[in-house]
Structure 1
């Protein structure tokens, strides 16, 4: 197993670059997992608002009190430059001016020019306050239209606007009790293909290119080591590296998600393993053409980013055109993503179709193994013949 041992000695020099991908992927996954598991209760964001009450009536005071309940009031000087500076430096999110005559206009059913405001852009705070004020005015008008007195309409509107509904964010899909696959955690498997392609091809292909250099190849062909044994050891070493990388991701996923090995997550685990094998065979095939380092980096990025954008890894499949998807079907990542979407219930789950996606990916792997064997047989068989001719010529002299 001399070739097998030599491979892992060469791999050590490429581990730092692989670790960068791994650490970044785990860091981003941990942040997403932590954000999704902290608290599933929805809480409205409190805005920093300055209120300038030019009407100074009980009705305008009532509106200001309602706003204070769900936002933080910031007292600043009523000066245009001061207000704009506060908005620019984010000391406040919104400056509301209750115009003079607010109560009289509201009592008369008028809604125009009740308020003025200062804001920097059409941000969330602007939309939120606009909707809030429209809802409040509409609620008062609704009570007035029912024949209530103005004071009662304002009081009832205040009560109605003060009601809060408890909202719980669902982070898990459970259709019929069969799916315990976290929706957020499905993204962990969704983006894994790009990392697998980047790591495996950049490491395995470079190691194989090093092992296939002319001097090493000629020396190997002159030895008693059979070509089939040499190729087998290359495949074995590549597969072992792929398995170790895949296992690291599975262990990391188990740490990030406590229910990793439950429900349909098993299908996602198998799907990721099959795709890792596909990428391993892809790396061996790329190495058979002996690309230079800069060309190999280019190939890695083209394959990783190309499949990520064309096959639905970075961009949802739903927004991709039919022409793009027709091309993507000839790439293994498309079938990986298709299976992952069914497992996560993004599309309708069908076990038969998931298995079909598995088999198609394995078909890609088998095809690349066959092509690799043919390339190696054609490309490197000449080395042994050339060496034998040189030996015969030297013997004649």
Structure 2
């Protein structure tokens, strides 16, 4: 196993350079773990809007009933009927909705005539729509009674309105599962892992291939007693061993930070996805290692490729914030599909056929990159051997 031993001797000589990316990743992971705040509860909660109610009509039971109904669903703020003060209250958001009941409102409602209330609101606000719905609900219900029971007194009308509008439908949110607090945090961790993994593999494998692709050393190896098939097997075994060791080191912190979560379905899928990505990164690193001619070029390629694919694929900037053109370009890299699968894994509460199909499709695409790049690399190696 001379070639295998030589492989790791070269790796150990370059350990300082490789450790830099490992330390950077661990620092990012720790900072992420300490600074991450879980998302706020997104369940619906009823919020009362601050409104001003001004009555220019007579103090009738119908107007009082409307005011009482709005007071149950909004906060009535007492503001003098002065244009400047009302405008100031709206500007400083002391109120978000000003309702003015015009003269003749009561008579118009009882006679079935068209009624137009006056309102002043914050432009394009949700409170505007919400209050319109409440007021329309009250007026439409009152109009129904005055149309079909024309002789109904105001007192009875208001009593019926209070009884009808007091009915509410209870809504219960049912979920078949819960979303772990570690899900999104671990997703960020494994997304960042791709950057360090790519950089370490490129630097490590390139440093080895620079030595073994040296023209004089290659010629000496060709005339050595060790057969080419055995030499290639040891080289492949060395690359696989280095990739697996790197993967194990990078994922080890996740077991420390997230504990038993890594043994859940979400955690196992994240681990599987990262291992599949490791194979693709290994193939690309092996290709780059057979193309690079100097150590300076090796460092440049490692930084450009690892950083470049990370930026356009959603590692540092979420894919949801990237443009369509950027994502289209990124889809030609395995990092994009790796991050896409991670996002789907961590977003899922329960895994069904549809979600798993999408996740495994991304993994298959990543494996496709690995196989395609490896095939190109083998053709390149064979061509160079013939030229030599």
TM-score category (smaller protein): 0.5 to 0.7
Can you give the 5+ residue segments of structure 1 that lack an aligned partner in the other structure?
A: 175-179, 386-397
Contact 1:329 1:335 in 2 (8 A): no
Q: Does the CA-based 8 Å contact 1:7-1:237 persist in structure 2?
A: no
List aligned pairs for 1:40-79, cutoff 5 A.
Answer: 42-55=44-57, 56-79=59-82
Q: Does 1:237 align with 2:242?
A: yes
For the Cα contact (< 8 Å) 1:275–1:333, is it kept in 2?
Answer: no
> Which residue does 2:121 correspond to in 1?
118
* Structure-2-length-normalised TM-score: 0.66
Superposed CA RMSD: 5.1
State the alpha-carbon separation in 1 of the partners of residues 283 and 73 from structure 2. Answer: 56
Equivalent pairs counted in the alignment come to 356
Question: How far is 1:183 from its partner?
Answer: 9.9
Indicate the residue corresponding to 1:3 in structure 2. 10
Report the alpha carbon displacement of residue 274 of structure 1 after superposing the two structures with TM. 4.1
Paired position in structure 2 for 1:391: none
State whether residues 87 and 94 of structure 1, in contact with CA within 8 Å, keep that contact through their aligned partners in structure 2.
Answer: yes
**Could you tell me which residue of structure 1 aligns to residue 99 of structure 2?**
96
Aligned to 2:41: 35
Structural mapping, 1:62-211, within 5 Å: 62-119=65-122, 121-147=123-149, 148-170=152-174, 172=175, 174=176, 180=177, 182=179, 194-206=191-203, 211=207
Q: Using the alignment, how far apart are the partners of 2:80 and 2:200 within structure 1?
A: 62
Q: 1:35 to 1:11 in 2, by over 3 A?
A: farther
For the residues of structure 1 that align with 2:385 and 2:157, how far apart are their CA atoms?
Answer: 90
Look up the match of 2:3. none
* Bigger shift: residues 268-277 or 128-137: 268-277
CA contact (8 A) 2:202 2:285 kept: yes
1: CA distance, partners of 2:33 / 2:283? 24
Give deviations 1:313-372, integer Å, cap 9, x for gaps: 8359xxx99xx99x9599585598579589767985497887676555434334444545
TM-aligned CA distance change 1:336 to 1:302, over 3 Å: closer
1:134-167 residue CA offsets vs partner (Å, 9 max, x unmatched)? 1221122223334254433333323333334333
User: Shift of residue 122 of structure 1?
Assistant: 0.9
Corresponding position of 2:285: 284
Alignment of 1:206-225 (within 5 A): 206=203, 211=207
Deviations 1:203-257 (A, max 9, x none): 5435655x369689869959999787566545433433333434545665667x6
User: Within 1, Cα distance between the matches of 2:54 and 2:77?
Assistant: 11
What residue number does 1:272 align with? 273
Preserved contact between residue 278 and residue 365 of structure 1 (Cα < 8 Å):
yes
Aligned 8 A contact 2:286 2:377 in 1: yes
Q: Distance in 1 between matches of 2:247 and 2:74?
A: 53
Structure 2 gaps of 5+ residues are 1-7
Q: 1:265 to 1:73 in 2, by over 3 A?
A: same
Larger radius of gyration: 2
Q: 265-274 or 59-68: which moved more? A: 265-274
Task: Tell me the residue number matched to 1:390.
Answer: none
Question: CA separation of 1:81/1:293 partners in 2, compared to 1, >3 Å: closer, same or farther?
Answer: farther
Tell me, yes or no, if the aligned pair for 1:196 and 1:279 is still in contact at 8 Å. Answer: no
Q: Alpha-carbon deviation of 1:185? A: 8.2
Q: How much does 1:59 deviate?
A: 2.3
In 1, Cα distance between the equivalents of 2:216 and 2:137? Answer: 81
Q: What do residues 166-192 of structure 1 show as CA deviations (whole Å, max 9, x unaligned)?
A: 33334x4x4xxxxx5749987778777
- Measure the CA separation in 2 of the matches of 1:254 and 1:153: 63
1:299 matched to 2:266? The reply is no
CA contact (8 A) 2:62 2:158 kept: yes
Q: Distance in 1 between matches of 2:41 and 2:381?
A: 49
Distance 1:190 1:92 in 2: 42
The corresponding residue for 1:18 is 25
